[in-house]
Amino acid sequence: MAEAVRCFIGLGSNLDNPTDQVMQALKELQDLPGISLMASSSLYRSDPMGPQDQPDYINAVAMLDTQLTPLALLDQLQTLEHAHQRIRLQHWGPRTLDLDLLLYGNQLITCERLTVPHPGLTERNFVLWPLAEIAPDLKFPDGSLIQTYLDQHPLGTLQRLS
């Protein structure tokens, strides 16, 4: 059997009871075939990035090990999003559940469906802080350290929920 690859998934929701959406999605990730959930961050409340006339988001990050290929993993994530009746009416508008493949081992992936590392990863405090909570010593595929990006993108109004 192929060796498992360590991956990180970003979760986000700002519709339809976002806290429940994210907690439920974390449970469902655990049950996906070919995936072992290794850790999950606290939930964080964040101001919307993009249009401001939408509710705050709940964000979290999950660490998982998988034997799925990147695209098979993406299929699983998208199935889960659809099960949450993901609504996305406008670009950068509100959504019931967003699952982003942030990192797939140390691989660089660019194809029509997928860019890994996720392009927003090192720019968004609502991804960086939950990620650092569960992987404080993380090194990105280019060798840079997560700690560097935390300094550049402080917690600000991002709120860690207990």
Binding region for ligand ROI (CB under 6 A) = 12, 46-50, 57, 59, 92, 98, 126
| Known catalytic membership, residue 86 | yes
| Known catalytic membership, residue 45 | no
| Known catalytic membership, residue 47 | no
Q: Exposed/middle/buried for 109, CB within 10 Å: 0-12, 13-18, 19+?
A: middle
| Known catalytic membership, residue 113 | no
Comparing CB distances to ligand ROI, the nearer of 104 and 129 is 129
Comparing CB distances to ligand ROI, the nearer of 18 and 70 is 18
> Alpha helix locations (H) across the chain?
18-31, 70-83, 125-134, 146-152
State the minimum distance, in angstroms, from the CB of residue 147 to ligand ROI: 22
117 Cβ contact list (under 8 Å, min separation 6) = 102, 103, 108, 140, 141
Catalytic residues: 86, 95, 98, 100
